[in-house]
Structure 1
Amino acid sequence: MPSLPYRTLALSLGLALAGAAQAQGHDHSKMDHAAHQAAQKPPAKPAAAVDHSTMDHSKMDHAGMGDTKPAAPETKPAPMDHSQMDHSQMDHSRMTQAKPATSEPREPIPQPTDADRAAAFAPISLHMQHAPEFNHYVLINRLEAVDAEHGNAQAWEGQAWFGNDTDRLWLRSEGEREDGRVESANLEALYGRAISPWWDVVVGAKHDLRPEHGQTWAAFGVQGMAPYKFEVAATAYIGEAGRTALNFEAEYELLLTNRLILQPLIEVDLYGRDDPQRGIGAGLSTVEAGLRLRYEVTRQFAPYLGVTWERAFGDTADYRRAAGEDNNDAQLVAGVRVWF
């Protein structure tokens, strides 16, 4: 029987061999710790059970319940290769063609009727009854210096009215002065009655102050704005001893800019009988044309430069030649235009 020390040594050797064998069976260097940890996670708790016994199925919409198919991926159609198509075998008669756009509107404007015209151009008594108050207007259309043949001269032409839009008193005057002496001058006083929004009928009297002794005429005519904004005045006169005369005047304002305005003018005089004392012949007597360019410093005040041309005809030209005057004359003018 061996002694105690040997028995203790043998027991220690046996325990050491048993520990080495166990260590060799569990090699932790070759273990997957991630998988081991995942395996060690506790299982997920099951969802709480739904108690269907307490639910009111009569109020639930079961139409949308069922097996839902996954949405198919959206695909774009492949472009067609027309180069490989045989168009000769295709029926093009059923293909629709776009209608060309027409120049006429879809809803043409109807033609105006007589009722439409009557509504647009109401009687003058109804058209202007909104402005019965008294007004006035004074215009000195020409106040100018003239480069005359025998020196400097002056000329004027103006008009004024007082009243309302339908009834007015018109005053008109024009004349010339040369070498400190008035060569011609007249004054007209007329009653004007509006017969349309653009035209007045006038009747009254005219008095010639010069030349020679004075003469009075009865006057009547029309004045206003013609189409295309031509200002027109036509007046007939009946004087002493059965003398008659007719004056026609037209002018136009062409706006070159907002302030620079070109104003052409033409005036024609005709007489029924010869008047040797005044150097006037029967028929077409004189024609005067003018062209004035003004600049409106203000709307009420505008200086201007221009040129005028006058020619005498018939017996009037003969009287002028007999007096040593030209029957054809062109002049430079400069003046101002004022209204208030």
Structure 2
Amino acid sequence: MHITKFLPSVLFMAGFAGQPLWAATDMDMTATSDNSNMQMQHEHGGQIYAANSLENKWVVDRHGVGSWQSELESWIGSDDNKLFIKADGKQAESEQLDASVMALYSRNISTFWDAQTGLRYRQNNNLLADKHAVDAVVGIHGLAPYFFETQAYLYVGEHQHVSMSLEAKRDLLWTQKLISEPFVKATVLLRDDSKAAQKTGLSHAEVGVQTRYEINKTVMPFFEVAYESDLGQKATALQEVTPNEYGLVYALGVLLKF
């Protein structure tokens, strides 16, 4: 009896307040929607990640000439969108620095592949002319069948430069810490009208294997052996043609991941 008398009073007070007891406020609905969106982003790759790798090695070529070479790859972003910075440099004995830097936007287009586009700046202080250039870059980066990590790029830039590059590699585990990585690298020069141009065709190719020992997930010393081929430079107004060169190269270095 008491409950029956009390219920109308409660309903009247709720109606006087302007909303029924069971109705959620706009603020509550917005908060619920925001939480749902955040949870959905978290479940579907909306988190921001970052990774860096730095490879330093001392390389001895087929003539017994040594050079210091470094490669840096750094990226930040989500599963769908990333920003990549890729840089490499080489300085042989008694020569100046040869380096390039790429800034790429990377967009996931399928389960194992990203499409990438951006710019590359290259510098070779050992050339007689056209030591600096900027290229537009477009390419793909991902995992090919049989777990080959693959990256392929097309470059179009100054001095009518058009070239393509391909790199593929795969890890083979001997133990949990001792790992061999066969790799292939190739650069095809389609056109170059610079005053210090290389020969067109397969201008550079490298096939080899790198064996590293993972002290931990950050420090990994390695030994590398590869067969390398270079077409050499073509004749221009400022330089003479050079012969094709090929042979074995050896390297000792360390890979850092952080």
TM interval, short-chain normalised: 0.7 to 0.9
Q: Which amino acid aligns with 1:157?
A: E
Q: 1:200 to 1:311 in 2, by over 3 A?
A: same
Q: Distance in 2 between matches of 1:151 and 1:328?
A: 14
Q: 1:184 to 1:228 in 2, by over 3 A?
A: same
Q: Distance in 2 between matches of 1:272 and 1:266?
A: 20
Show the counterpart of 1:143. 56
Q: 1:279 to 1:238 in 2, by over 3 A?
A: closer
- CA contact under 8 A between 1:167 and 1:194: conserved in structure 2? yes
Matching residue within 227, 237, 251 for 2:169: 251
Show the counterpart of 2:90. 176
Count of equivalent residues: 211
> Alpha-carbon deviation of 1:198?
1.1
Structure 1, unaligned runs of 5 or more: 1-125
Q: Does residue 188 in structure 1 map to residue 102 in structure 2? A: yes
Q: Does residue 265 in structure 1 map to residue 214 in structure 2? A: no
Length-normalised TM-score, structure 1: 0.57
Higher strand share: 2
Q: Distance in 1 between matches of 2:228 and 2:53?
A: 24
Q: Distance in 1 between matches of 2:230 and 2:101?
A: 23
Q: Which amino acid aligns with 1:168?
A: K
> Alpha-carbon deviation of 1:153?
1.3
Q: Distance in 1 between matches of 2:42 and 2:106?
A: 15
- SS of alignment partner, residue 150 of structure 2: strand
- CA contact under 8 A between 1:128 and 1:166: conserved in structure 2? no
Q: Does residue 155 in structure 1 map to residue 69 in structure 2? A: yes
Show the counterpart of 2:7. none
Superposition pairs of residues 48-87 of structure 1, within 5 angstroms:
none
Matching residue within 206, 211, 230 for 1:293: 211
- CA contact under 8 A between 1:127 and 1:197: conserved in structure 2? no
- CA contact under 8 A between 1:317 and 1:327: conserved in structure 2? no
Q: Deviations 1:61-85 (Å, cap 9, x if unpaired)?
A: xxxxxxxxxxxxxxxxxxxxxxxxx
Structure exhibiting the larger radius of gyration computed from Cα positions = 1
- SS of alignment partner, residue 84 of structure 2: strand
- CA contact under 8 A between 1:233 and 1:248: conserved in structure 2? yes
Q: Distance in 2 between matches of 1:144 and 1:162?
A: 25
- SS of alignment partner, residue 191 of structure 2: coil
- CA contact under 8 A between 1:138 and 1:160: conserved in structure 2? yes
Question: How high is the sequence identity, in percent, across the aligned residues?
Answer: 26
> Alpha-carbon deviation of 1:227?
1.3
Q: 1:326 to 1:284 in 2, by over 3 A?
A: closer
Higher helix share: 1
Q: Does residue 217 in structure 1 map to residue 131 in structure 2? A: no
Show the counterpart of 1:227. 145
- SS of alignment partner, residue 198 of structure 2: coil
Q: Which moved more, 1:327-336 or 1:229-238?
A: 327-336
Q: 1:241 to 1:131 in 2, by over 3 A?
A: same
Q: Which moved more, 1:198-207 or 1:303-312?
A: 303-312
Q: Distance in 1 between matches of 2:241 and 2:66?
A: 20
Q: Does residue 329 in structure 1 map to residue 252 in structure 2? A: no
Q: Distance in 2 between matches of 1:228 and 1:221?
A: 20
Q: Distance in 1 between matches of 2:179 and 2:149?
A: 15
> Alpha-carbon deviation of 1:324?
6.4
Q: Superposition RMSD on alpha carbons, in Å?
A: 2.4
Matching residue within 127, 131, 140 for 2:45: 131
> Alpha-carbon deviation of 1:278?
3.5
Structure 2, unaligned runs of 5 or more: 1-39
> Alpha-carbon deviation of 1:158?
2.4
> Alpha-carbon deviation of 1:228?
1.0
